[in-house]
């Protein structure tokens, strides 16, 4: 008996340690993901601020303007003519699937099988399918209403994020969509995964086949600005180099036409992100969702009225996605706790970004070629605009008023639906962890659901380790259908089956067969290594800032600091709210008497750098640190989606990034970088080649670790 108790005690301790490692790994992945989203929104708000308050002193103004340029303004009939597929010929050698309309069950089934076998649908059929989807979606309401009385069960899927393998597994387990098997797909079909286009085509095909039984909600990634950063734009242009531009333009229209929510039996609300204390389903049902091509900004008067001649309305006030909440004092922001699984605890308060995206920022020390300078906000902005070739607009106050109050209110409703997350505390606070929407508490859930006579809110938007999670006394349910989201073995996917009793039944799955064969210890170890690799890369890209912070704790310049000070310094620089002292054992190989040689530790951050020789180490570190921001700017500038930008546009990109980061990067350093990457000396730079040349890849660390998978 004593032996059995000892074994039981040992196993419980072993399981607890594994669970602690699993939660810590999860926090790393999620903190890095949300930090990236926040960076993207800050960058976009910065460009909006330039459009708001500055006029051109050079060609820089045109560069910023084209980043914000929406699709060409056409009437619906003109759009249909522009995207006519009939002039595109399908060659005889094409061996992929063929489509004929109206679609049949056998045709759609063949399309699914073709994608399963890695075949590609011809651009003619893609445009034809997208055009018919757009025509259908324009007729649909903002909130779809579904009745379960006619069906046995309704299936609800969460985020798929380009994981076609997960969608096919759901169909295998649950059956294809049909009148007998209706589905609700709750947004975020694209980005991150490599088969987003195939997922869209499959879902749109089933939507055309069963328009009353397949329901698609818009997610925050059904947004062409978000797609620039997270891979979908690059995927489409890679798969369809000739017609990719046309496909992307049509998808912008389709995304803006997607319904915002689905209601089942007037009792269950399904939407992608969440709600706020201002959510009004009656207002959401009446607004014109098609005007909001991107949810990252409110409409201008030009967009609201369709007046293309009003040049002054070209500038707009880009409000923060984390909008202030009237009548409520600011509270500390929540974050996911290592010790509470999915619970939320207080997050250190940060400065809220104002409507302009930059005003309201605290005074900051700027690093420049002449040393450290402390400026007021206005002085700082004027200097950075001067360096970027921009001058202050004299009528910026007038232009800022170009946003209609009613349009802003509608925009806020959409932002909350697409971007918000639940928290365990009561109240409603800006979601500055993501950079958009809000965090809402159980009291807000109760008030909004009771006001609309609803029982349950089903949402997605957050990856959950088991694929689903209840909160707010069982009245909010998160469902996530992309398994292995952060890495192989990181999480299960799940979907819901909801019957007439409106009691959800969960089906979990794991798309990777190799993961299903791993033990718990092997699975945790594999994902932990991947998370630590991502974290080491984050540390490497902040080397200079870490050194400056370490030196604050080392006034005698001994090169040594305590582990406590190391943890405090790392958190100040990265601001990921991670348990650094817990992670020390995995990140710091050696300490002596609780002291750390930080220079030696930084040298041990083992990464492979680019083979391109650049003398300016500050420029190189900026490139690594802001790799994703650079790619976003490049793809915004590349409005014709050619994959190429001129050397002048390359210089302008770096000037914009320098202004955004409030740092100085010399023209000579930029010219050296451009010359080193223009391999054929034709005066243009291939975006994909440039970004790949400077992508960080970690070396293999330690014996027995998994080798990186071949590309």
What DSSP string runs through 295-329?
Answer: TTSPPPHHHHHT-TT-GGGGS-----SS---TT--
Most trustworthy range by pLDDT among 83-87, 341-345, 425-429, 554-558: 425-429
DSSP state of 220: T
Question: Residue 517 and residue 513: Cα distance in Å, rounded?
Answer: 7
Tokens of 249: 């333009």
Q: What is the pLDDT of residues 283-315, one digit of tens each?
A: 999 999 999 998 887 765 555 555 443 333 333
CA-nearest of 701, 496, 467 to 606 is 701
Instruction: Check pLDDT > 90 for residue 20.
Output: no
Whether 157 and 495 have beta carbons less than 8 Å apart is answered as yes
CA 117 to chain centre: 28
Grouping H, G, I as helix, E, B as strand and the rest as coil, residue 173 is helix
The model's pTM is 0.77
3-state helix, strand, coil in the chain (%, to 5): 45, 15, 40
Indicate if 627 belongs to the active site.
Answer: no
397 has pLDDT over 60: no
Confidence of residue 515 (pLDDT cuts 50, 70, 90): low
Q: What pLDDT does residue 370 have? A: 35
Give mean pLDDT, residues 455-471. 96
Residue 601 clears pLDDT 60, i.e. is over it: yes
Cα–Cα distance for residue pair 278/416, rounded to 1 Å: 9
For residue 438, the surrounding DSSP H or E stretch is: strand 438-440
Per-residue pLDDT at 677: 65
Residues 529 and 288: their CA atoms lie apart, in Å, by 46
Residue 701 predicted with pLDDT over 60: no
Task: Point out the least confidently predicted range of 285-289, 464-468, 590-594.
Answer: 590-594
Place of tokens 């340690």: 17
User: Is residue 327 predicted with pLDDT exceeding 70?
Assistant: no
Of 433 and 640, more confident: 433
Q: Tell how far CA 700 is from the center of its chain.
A: 28
**DSSP for 252-274?**
HHHHHHS-SEEEETTTEEEESS-
Residue 657: name the closest of 34, 29, 39 by CA: 39
Range scoring the smallest mean pLDDT among 6-15, 39-48, 128-137, 616-625 = 616-625
Q: Which of 95, 97, 122, 124 is nearest to 108 (CA)?
A: 97
Q: And the tokens for 698?
A: 């970690």
**Beta-bridge partners for 263:** 145, 269
Whole-angstrom distance, CA of residue 150 vs CA of residue 172:
23
Mean pLDDT of 225-238: 90
CA distances from 259 to 184, 249, 279, 595 (A): 11, 19, 16, 57
Residue 231: partners with Cβ closer than 8 Å, 6 or more residues away: 162, 191, 192, 193, 194, 196
| Gap between the Cα atoms of 695 and 439, Å rounded | 33
Residue, of 408 and 80, whose pLDDT is higher:
408
The pLDDT of residue 503 is above 70: yes
Quote the percentage of the chain above a pLDDT of 90. 42
Band (462; pLDDT cuts 50, 70, 90): very high
Q: Residue 400 and residue 381: Cα distance in Å, rounded?
A: 17
For the cut 50, the answer to whether the pLDDT of residue 97 exceeds it is: yes
Tell me the pLDDT of the chain averaged across its residues. Answer: 77
Give the C-alpha distances (Å, rounded to integers) separating 541 from 38, 467, 472, 585.
Answer: 17, 32, 38, 21
What pLDDT is stored for residue 422 in this prediction? Answer: 97
Q: Determine the pLDDT at residue 509.
A: 94
Q: What angle do CA 372, 574, 693 make, to 5 degrees?
A: 90
Q: What is the 3-state secondary structure (H, E, C) of 497-529?
A: EECCCCCEEEEEECCCHHHHCCCHHHHHHHHHH
pLDDT (0 to 100) of residue 699: 45
End-to-end CA, the chain = 53
In terms of Cα–Cα distance, which of 586, 588, 604, 590 is closest to 699? Answer: 604
pLDDT score for 350: 36
If one compares 484 and 78, the residue with the highest pLDDT of the two is: 484
Residue 414: count of CB within 10 angstroms of its CB: 22
Compute CA 685 distance to the chain's CA centroid, rounded to the nearest angstrom: 26
pLDDT at 309: 38
Q: What CA–CA distance (Å, rounded) separates 280 from 448? A: 8
* Cα–Cα distance, 122 to 490 (Å, whole number): 34
As to burial, measured by CB atoms within 10 angstroms (0-12 exposed, 13-18 middle, 19+ buried), residue 467 is buried
The encoded tokens of residue 426 equal: 């009561």
CA atoms of 272 and 320, how far apart (whole Å):
20
For residue 8, give Cα distances in angstroms to 14, 205, 234, 659: 10, 53, 52, 60
CA distance 369 to 257: 49
Instruction: Give the residue from 52, 25, 153, 160 showing the smallest Cα distance to 465.
Output: 25
Q: Which listed residue (221, 224, 461, 565) is catalytic?
A: 221
591/598 Cα distance (integer angstroms): 10
């Amino acid at each position: 008996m004593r032996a059995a108790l000892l074994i039981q005690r040992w196993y419980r301790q072993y399981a607890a340690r594994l669970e602690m490692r699993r939660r810590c790994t999860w926090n790393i992945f999620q903190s890095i993901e949300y930090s990236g989203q926040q960076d993207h929104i800050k960058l976009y708000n910065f460009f909006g601020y330039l459009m708001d308050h500055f006029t051109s002193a050079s060609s820089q103004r045109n560069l910023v303007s084209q980043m914000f340029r929406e699709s060409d303004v056409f009437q619906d009939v003109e759009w249909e003519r522009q995207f006519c597929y009939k002039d595109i010929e399908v060659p005889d050698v094409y061996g992929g699937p063929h489509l004929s309309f109206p679609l049949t069950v056998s045709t759609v089934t063949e399309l699914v099988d073709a994608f399963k076998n890695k075949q590609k649908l011809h651009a003619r059929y893609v445009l034809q399918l997208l055009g018919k989807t757009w025509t259908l979606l324009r007729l649909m309401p903002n909130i779809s209403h579904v009745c379960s009385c006619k069906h046995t069960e309704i299936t609800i899927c969460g985020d798929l994020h380009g994981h076609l393998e997960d969608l096919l597994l759901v169909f295998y387990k649950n059956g294809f969509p049909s009148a007998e098997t209706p589905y609700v797909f709750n947004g975020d079909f694209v980005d991150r995964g490599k088969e987003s286009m195939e997922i869209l085509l499959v879902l749109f095909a089933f939507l055309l086949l069963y328009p009353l039984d397949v329901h698609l909600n818009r997610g925050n990634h059904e947004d062409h600005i978000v797609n620039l950063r997270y891979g979908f734009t690059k995927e489409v242009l890679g798969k369809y180099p000739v017609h990719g531009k046309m496909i992307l333009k049509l998808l912008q229209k389709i995304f803006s036409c997607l319904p915002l929510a689905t209601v089942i039996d007037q009792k269950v609300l399904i939407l992608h992100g969440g709600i706020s204390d201002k959510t009004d389903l009656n207002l959401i049902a009446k607004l014109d969702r098609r005007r909001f091509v991107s949810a990252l900004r409110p409409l201008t008067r030009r967009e609201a009225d369709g007046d293309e001649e009003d040049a002054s309305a070209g500038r707009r006030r880009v409000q923060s996605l984390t909008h202030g909440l009237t009548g409520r004092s600011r509270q500390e922001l929540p974050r996911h706790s290592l010790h509470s699984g999915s619970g939320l605890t207080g997050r250190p308060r940060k400065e809220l970004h104002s409507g302009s995206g930059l005003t309201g920022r605290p005074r900051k020390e700027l690093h420049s070629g002449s040393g450290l300078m402390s400026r007021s906000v206005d002085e700082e902005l004027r200097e950075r605009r001067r360096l970027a070739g921009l001058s202050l607009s004299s009528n910026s106050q007038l232009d800022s008023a170009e946003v209609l109050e009613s349009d802003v209110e509608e925009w806020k409703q959409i932002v909350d639906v697409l971007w918000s997350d639940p928290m365990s505390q009561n109240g409603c606070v800006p979601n500055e962890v993501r950079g958009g929407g809000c965090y809402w508490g159980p009291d807000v859930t109760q008030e909004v659901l009771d006001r609309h006579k609803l029982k349950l809110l089903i949402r997605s938007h957050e990856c959950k380790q088991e694929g689903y999670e209840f909160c707010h006394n069982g009245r909010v349910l998160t469902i996530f259908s992309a398994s292995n989201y952060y890495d192989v073995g990181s999480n299960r996917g799940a979907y819901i089956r909801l019957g007439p009793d409106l009691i959800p039944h969960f089906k979990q799955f794991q798309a990777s067969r190799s993961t299903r064969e791993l033990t718990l210890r092997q699975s945790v170890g594999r994902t932990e290594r991947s998370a630590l690799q991502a974290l080491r890369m984050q540390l490497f890209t902040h080397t200079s800032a870490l050194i400056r912070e370490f030196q604050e704790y080392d006034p005698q310049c001994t090169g040594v600091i305590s582990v406590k000070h190391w943890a405090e310094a790392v958190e100040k620089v990265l601001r990921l709210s991670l348990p650094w002292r817990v992670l020390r054992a995995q990140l710091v190989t050696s300490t002596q008497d609780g002291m750390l040689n930080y220079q030696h530790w930084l040298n041990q951050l083992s990464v492979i750098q680019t083979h391109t020789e650049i003398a300016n180490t500050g420029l190189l570190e900026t490139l690594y640190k802001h790799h994703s921001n650079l790619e976003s700017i490049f793809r915004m500038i590349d409005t014709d989606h050619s994959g190429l930008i001129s050397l002048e546009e390359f210089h302008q990109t770096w000037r914009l990034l320098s202004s955004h980061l409030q740092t100085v990067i010399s023209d000579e350093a930029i010219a050296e970088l451009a010359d080193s990457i223009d391999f054929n000396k034709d005066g243009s730079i291939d975006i994909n080649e440039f970004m790949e040349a400077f992508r960080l890849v970690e070396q293999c660390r330690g014996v027995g670790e998994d080798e990186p998978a071949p590309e």
